[in-house]
Amino acid sequence: MKKTEIVIIGGGVVGASVAYHLTMRGAKDVLILERGTAQGSGSTGKATGGVRAQFETEINIKMSLYSLDFLVNCGFDCAYEPRGYLFFATDEKQFDYVRRNVEFQKKIGVKDVEVVDKKEIEKICPILNTEDIVGGSFGANDGFVNPLAIMRGFTEQALENGAKIQFETQVSAIETEGGKVVAVATNKGRIECEKVVIATGAWAREIANTAGIDLPVSPQKRQIVWAKSEKTLPENLPMVIDIGSGFHFRPARDFVDHAANSDNTEVLFAYPDPDERESTDTDFDESFIGRVYEKAKHRSPFLFDTKIIREKCRAGLYENTPDHHAILGGCDVEGLYFANGFSGHGVMHSPATGKALSEIILDGKASFLDVSCLSFDRFAKGELLHETAFI
């Protein structure tokens, strides 16, 4: 039998951030439980590594602003590239939505976002077919990061501050008595604890169920096609997103082998397949290649002419909530906390998430930012948020 104060279930970027922020506040008795033989084998290692402040809701924008500032100034190299995010619209209704978003984003504090017309879009992304594009938005400080580097940076500092990590440890249940957390049961024995943070991505619901909580987080497969062009990509190519279909592309970055695509000829592209059902399947579906290339054929002949690098195509899991916003904070079970349901935004919001959870656990609430709108009880109250700017 072991004993610790705080157990964090999940050693990905979110769990690592929670551990980092707790230990930066002086917490010493923190244990990360990772079911894999190493960190980053789940959603963190399969993320595309985008960061942006171009969202529709105030909370997502503020989470992004805090996180972007943190990643620029954190002291460890997260390979931040401010290439920008370009959203484009193909009808006036979409363009009106973009303009309203930009106005709101500026009001909240985003300083680098602008409405752009077709001519500006052609300059930003010369490989785009703009025939049916009416306008869009561009955020210059949005861009790319290395999710594994962020995870490692958080973890290394947390361990230096006194946290511990245990690998190949699968949590089977969260044990409670009298409405309080008392332990976690694992394949390596029972661990007594006072507090548990669930940071297990797409598998959060089943673990929460063991404590009697029905957490509305569902897994969904999302796939990425990785390809190589015979020509060099345009200089400073940003993330490019069709807000109508969700089709998007960006320069590819190999987070393991940094020299692999140093010639700037590799690109990844994808779209959210509306037929993809709830599943924990992470096998790449070959038929997805044809579907995504069909979209590329119209939008960018440059992309359509690229050659597939099959071994780099991949499938990962989104952890969706009914309103596509995260669940942060506690619940009726004393000592049980959630950092879940990021709907594809876990990496980019991990700094703000760790900060929020550390303050909620240690102080009772988050003071750097009011995250109460992301609480678990919003679903029972019918206070769901609305965000359509997710891909």
Mean pLDDT of 120-131: 98
pLDDT at 256 over 70: no
Would you mind telling me the total number of residues written for the chain in this entry?
A: 391
User: For the segment 1-58, what is each residue's pLDDT rounded down to a tens digit?
Assistant: 699 999 999 999 999 999 999 999 999 999 999 999 999 988 999 999 999 999 999 9
User: For the segment 359-386, what is each residue's pLDDT rounded down to a tens digit?
Assistant: 999 999 999 999 999 999 999 999 999 8
Mean pLDDT of 162-167: 98
Q: Provide the token pair at 10.
A: 């999940």
pLDDT at 338 over 60: yes
Separation of alpha carbons 98 and 40, rounded Å:
34
pLDDT at 257 over 80: no
Helices (H) and strands (E) in the chain, counts: 11, 21
| Domains identified in the chain and CATH numbers | 2-46+148-217+322-381 (3.50.50.60), 84-141+219-318 (3.30.9.10)
Instruction: Please give the model's pTM, rounded to 2 decimal places.
Output: 0.96
Mean pLDDT of 260-282: 86
